[in-house]
Chain A
Amino acid sequence: MSDPADLKRTPLHAEHVRLGGKMIGFGGWDMPVQYTGIMDEHRAVRTALGVFDISHMGQFFAKGTGAAAWLNGVLTNNVNKLAPGHGQYTLMLNERGGVIDDLIIYRIADAEWLLVVNAAKIGEDFAWLSPRVPAGVTLENRSDEFFGLAVQGPRAAEWFGKFTGGKTVPVRNGVAQIEVGGVPLIVCRTGYTGEDGVELFGPGSNAVAVLNAVLAAGGEFGIKPCGLGARDTLRMEMCYPLNGNDLSPERTPIEAGLGFFVDLEKGDFTGRAVLAEQKAAGVKQRLAAFKMIGATPPPRSHYGVWKDGAQIGETCSGGLSPTLGCGIGLAYLPVEFAKPGTAIEIDIRGRRFPAQVEKKPLHRGGTAG
Chain B
Amino acid sequence: MNVPDDLRYAKSHEWLRADGTVGITDHAQHELTDVVFVDLPAVGKVVKAGEVVCVVESVKAASDIYAPASGKVVATNPGLTANPALVNTDPYGEGWMFKLELANPAERDALQDAAAYSAATGA
Determine the distance from Cα of A89 to Cα of B113 in the docked complex, in whole angstroms. Answer: 56
Q: Is B39 an interface residue (CB 8 A)?
A: yes
Q: Is A300 an interface residue (CB 8 A)?
A: yes
Chain A min CB distance to B30 (Å) = 9
Chain A min CB distance to B88 (Å) = 9
Q: Is B33 an interface residue (CB 8 A)?
A: yes
Q: Is the Cβ of B33 less than 8 Å from the Cβ of A296?
A: no
Determine the distance from Cα of A39 to Cα of B33 in the docked complex, in whole angstroms. Answer: 9
Q: Is A84 an interface residue (CB 8 A)?
A: no
Q: Is the Cβ of B55 less than 8 Å from the Cβ of A320?
A: no
Q: Mask for A325-351, Cβ within 8 A of B = 1, else 0?
A: 000000000000000000000000100
Q: Is the Cβ of B55 less than 8 Å from the Cβ of A319?
A: no
Q: Is the Cβ of B59 less than 8 Å from the Cβ of A322?
A: yes
The residues in B between 32 and 82 inclusive whose CB is less than 8 angstroms from any CB of A are 33-34, 36-37, 39, 55, 57-62, 81
Q: Which residues of B contact A100 (CB under 8 A)?
A: none
Q: Is the Cβ of B59 less than 8 Å from the Cβ of A38?
A: yes
A297: which of B33, B34, B57, B60 is its contact (CB, 8 Å)? B57
Q: Which residues of A contact B36 (CB under 8 A)?
A: 298, 320
A297/B62 contact (C-beta < 8 A), A38-B33, A320-B36 known: yes
A349: which of B31, B34, B39, B60 is its contact (CB, 8 Å)? B39
Chain A min CB distance to B118 (Å) = 20
Q: Mask for A343-369, Cβ within 8 A of B = 1, else 0?
A: 000000100000000000000000000
Determine the distance from Cα of A34 to Cα of B33 in the docked complex, in whole angstroms. Answer: 10
Chain B min CB distance to A225 (Å) = 15
Q: Is A317 an interface residue (CB 8 A)?
A: no
Determine the distance from Cα of A39 to Cα of B57 in the docked complex, in whole angstroms. Answer: 13
Q: Mask for A233-252, Cβ within 8 A of B = 1, else 0?
A: 10000000000000000000
Q: B54 — nearest CB in chain A belongs to which residue? A: A349
Q: Is A229 an interface residue (CB 8 A)?
A: yes
Kindly list 19 other residue pairs between chains A and B, CB separation below 8 angstroms, not including A37-B33, A300-B61.
A33-B60, A34-B33, A34-B60, A37-B34, A38-B34, A38-B58, A38-B60, A39-B59, A229-B60, A297-B39, A297-B57, A298-B36, A298-B57, A319-B59, A319-B60, A320-B36, A320-B37, A320-B59, A349-B39
9 A-B interface contacts by CB (under 8 A): A33-B60, A34-B60, A233-B59, A295-B37, A295-B81, A298-B37, A298-B57, A320-B57, A322-B59
> Which 5 residue pairs of A and B lie closest in terms of their CB atoms, listed nearest first?
A38-B59, A297-B37, A37-B33, A39-B34, A320-B36
